[in-house]
């Protein structure tokens, strides 16, 4: 019984000395960060899309979603009178990981164009796509537009 106690004491003393001496000691894994929340904005109606040559857009039969890098503005247009809204969905990356993500929704009716102003980090990879959204059920309706890749300015 004493031998076991001595061995346990030696192991404990060695572990303490390793920590004091700066040697690596196993620690529990850090908890994962909380999931990234979606930023959600309702678009404010404007007269139309800007005529900027660097407008990055995703378009499908039911709507269009665009990003204007200079000004960090998302434009969205509802193309169908079907009772659903249209959403510009976007993601900004920093060091290869999603840093921010959001949705800009227009629910003003077919043919209308709206804008959401954001303040995004400069010179970062980003992507945008258009989606159809049923505000009554809170669900997205297929099909989704394709992701278009660009960068913030």
Question: Has residue 88 been placed in a domain?
Answer: yes
Written as six digits, the tokens of 13 are: 């003393």
What's the rounded Cα separation, in Å, for the pair 23 and 48?
63
For the chain, how many structural domains are there in total? 1
CATH code of residue 47: 2.60.40
Q: What is the pLDDT of residue 15?
A: 46
Residue 11 in any domain: the answer is no
Residue 16's pLDDT is what?
46
Task: Report helix, strand or coil for 63.
Answer: strand
16 found inside a domain: no
Phi-psi region of 138 (alpha: psi -120 to 50; beta: other; left: phi over 0): left
Residue 51 resides in a domain: yes
pTM of the entire predicted model: 0.77
> Which residue positions in the chain have pLDDT lower than 50?
1-19, 25, 27
The span from the CA of 133 to the CA of 148, in Å, is: 19
> What distances in angstroms separate CA 28 from CA 25, 31, 112, one per listed residue?
10, 9, 53
Residue 102's domain comprises: 39-151
Burial, 90: exposed, middle or buried (Cβ in 10 Å; 0-12, 13-18, 19+)? buried
Domain assignment present for residue 34? The answer is: no
Looking at residue 2, what is its pLDDT? 34
Is residue 129, in this structure, part of any structural domain at all?
Answer: yes
Read off the pLDDT of residues 13-33 as tens digits, 9 standing for 90 and up: 444 444 455 555 454 555 666
Residue 26 included in any domain: no
- 20: in domain: no
The per-residue pLDDT of the chain, averaged, comes to 85
């Amino acid at each position: 019984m004493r031998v076991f106690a001595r061995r346990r004491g030696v192991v404990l003393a060695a572990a303490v000395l390793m920590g004091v001496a700066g040697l690596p000691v196993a620690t529990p894994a850090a908890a994962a960060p909380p999931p990234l929340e979606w930023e959600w904005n309702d678009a404010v109606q404007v007269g139309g899309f800007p005529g900027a040559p660097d407008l990055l857009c995703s378009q499908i039969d039911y709507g269009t979603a665009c990003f204007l890098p200079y000004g960090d503005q998302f434009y969205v247009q509802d193309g169908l009178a079907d009772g659903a809204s249209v959403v510009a969905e976007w993601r900004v990356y920093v060091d290869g990981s999603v840093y921010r993500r959001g949705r800009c929704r227009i629910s003003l009716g077919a043919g209308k164009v709206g804008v959401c102003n954001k303040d995004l980090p400069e010179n970062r990879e980003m992507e945008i796509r258009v989606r159809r959204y049923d505000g009554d059920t809170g669900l997205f309706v297929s099909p989704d537009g394709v992701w278009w890749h660009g960068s913030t300015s």
